[in-house]
Amino acid sequence: MHVEYDLLPQSRRKSPPGRDADLGFGLLRTNHMFQMEYADGAWQNARIIPYQPFLLAPGAMCLHYGQTIFEGIKAFGHDDGEIYVFRGDLNAERLNNSAAIMCMPSIPAEVQQEAVMRLIDVERDWCPVIAESSLYIRPFMFATMDALGVKPSRTYTYCVILSPSGPYYARGVSEAITLLISRRFHRAAPGGTGAAKCGGNYGASLRAAEEAHAYGAAQVLYLSVDNTHIEEAGSMNHYHVLADGTFIIPAFDDTILRSVTSLSVLELAEAGLVKARQESVRLDDFLAAVASGAVIEAGGFGTAAVVSPVGRYCLEDGTIYTVGDGKVGRHSLALYTRYSAIQTGKAEAPAGWLQKVPRFS
Ligand SMILES: Cc1ncc(COP(=O)(O)O)c(C=O)c1O
């Protein structure tokens, strides 16, 4: 791919935060972004430019009908002084799946990965090397055609921005969260867009998340539309741990996002490094097993959340189910530690999991 560079002079660039800075999650921006447009059936005008607002027609279709998709990836600075992107190939594949579900054009995975790599290469100083922190990468695509009929746009913008970030939940893995199990709100319906990482799924989740907060819960654990099965949380797949240490992840279907983290845990299981499998999980069986102590730990998997243990589940009638002693369990902590060690280069990564950011210039 040919990429044009229009970089800020050093004197006009913001400096990255210091080592002691509290980064928050997704709040900081670096100096540049990657952008290209789709028109006449082709992606064109690939460039790295100063971080700046878009010029968007008020009639742009993304603003009206929600044709917008995104990804979330992390890059880590290793002790060898290099930066490594974690499983960006899987995210590129998933963006294309989301694009297919949302009638948007695909982008060859190598092009997406090169866009990410080239942008990180010019922003090397922004990759934090603090524990539990990383360079969060946000690729996204949205419809730009200025037309008000409800149909797929013929023009799109693809963009990548970066955000040096700390843990998604302020206390990271050190404190178990509470999830609200909602029978009232649903994230996705069969035949809908649940398996796409599209903006609409997240917009539709905000009301439920506000309700969760009112119950003192961090997020909602969504059920199938008939309220019989556990699906996933607002930004994480769900897991629970059986007495023998096996992680159970609800089986993917078209209402659940195929989490890169879950897929990675399942690959570790195939390699014999953890015990994990997928199966459909009935809510009543799950709650009975939490109450009886057969489920010893639970939590969520996600790029942002990594491994986030859940200590309590709250129902809308106020019933509380406590998992084990309600604290972070040893299996979740061990998995978090192993996974983070792989990401940060402290433990050997399975082949192909980490892609080194090349030096393009
Ligand atoms: C709805 C939803 N489920 C699951 C996940 C976890 O997926 P991943 O591990 O690819 O980040 C995310 C976050 O990306 C999400 O938004």
123-155 tens-digit pLDDT: 999 999 888 899 999 999 999 999 999 999 999
- Which of 166, 195, 210 terminates a domain? The answer is 166
Ligand 1 centroid from CA 223, angstroms = 16
**What pLDDT does 162 receive?**
98
In-domain check, residue 320: yes
Last residue of a domain, one of 166, 188, 204: 166
Atom nearest to 197 CA in ligand 1: 16
| Span from the CA of 57 to the centroid of ligand 1 (angstroms) | 30
pLDDT > 90? residue 20:
no
Placement of tokens 């970066």 in the chain: 162
**Mean pLDDT, to the nearest integer, of 171-185?**
91
The residue among 18 and 314 whose pLDDT is bigger is 314
pLDDT of 42:
98
pTM for this one?
A: 0.97
Query: Which tokens belong to 92?
Result: 């590129």
Nearest atom in ligand 1 to 303's CA: 11
CA of 261 to the centre of ligand 1 (A): 8
Using one digit for the tens of pLDDT, what is the confidence trace for 216-260? Answer: 999 999 999 999 999 999 999 999 999 999 999 999 999 999 999
Ligand 1 and 67: CB distance under 6 A: no
Does ligand 1 have an atom closer than 6 angstroms to the CB of 303?
yes
Question: What are the residues facing 45 on neighbouring strands?
Answer: none
pLDDT computed for residue 12 by the predictor:
97
C-alpha span between 177 and 311 (Å, rounded): 6
Structural domain containing residue 324: 172-343
Cα–chain-centroid distance for residue 164?
A: 15
Comparison of pLDDT for 256 and 169, the residue scoring more: 256
* H or E stretch covering 260: helix 260-270
Query: What DSSP designation does 229 have?
Result: B
For all residues of the chain together, what is the average pLDDT?
96
Q: Which atom of ligand 1 is nearest to the CA of 261?
A: 9
pLDDT at 73: 98
Same-domain status, 143 and 208:
no
Looking at the predicted structure, is the pLDDT value of residue 167 above 90? Answer: no
260 lines ligand 1 (CB under 6 A): yes
Task: State percent of the chain over pLDDT 90.
Answer: 94
Q: Which residues contact 351 (CB under 8 A, 6 or more apart)?
A: none
Structural domain contains residue 297: yes
**Would you call 225 helix, strand, or coil by DSSP?**
coil
- On whether the CB atoms of residues 89 and 352 are closer than 8 A, the answer is yes
- pLDDT at 225 (0 to 100): 97
Mean predicted confidence (pLDDT) in 313-325: 97
CB of 235 closer than 6 angstroms to any ligand 1 atom: yes
Q: What is the tally of structural domains in the chain?
A: 2
Does 326 score more than 90 pLDDT? yes
The pLDDT score that the predictor gives to residue 337 is 95
Q: Cα(169)–Cα(59) distance, rounded to whole angstroms?
A: 36
> Using an 8 Å Cβ cutoff, are 296 and 324 in contact?
yes
254-139-2 Cα angle (round to 5)? 125
Q: Output the pLDDT for position 38.
A: 98
CATH code where residue 272 lies: 3.20.10.10
How big is the chain, counted in residues? 361
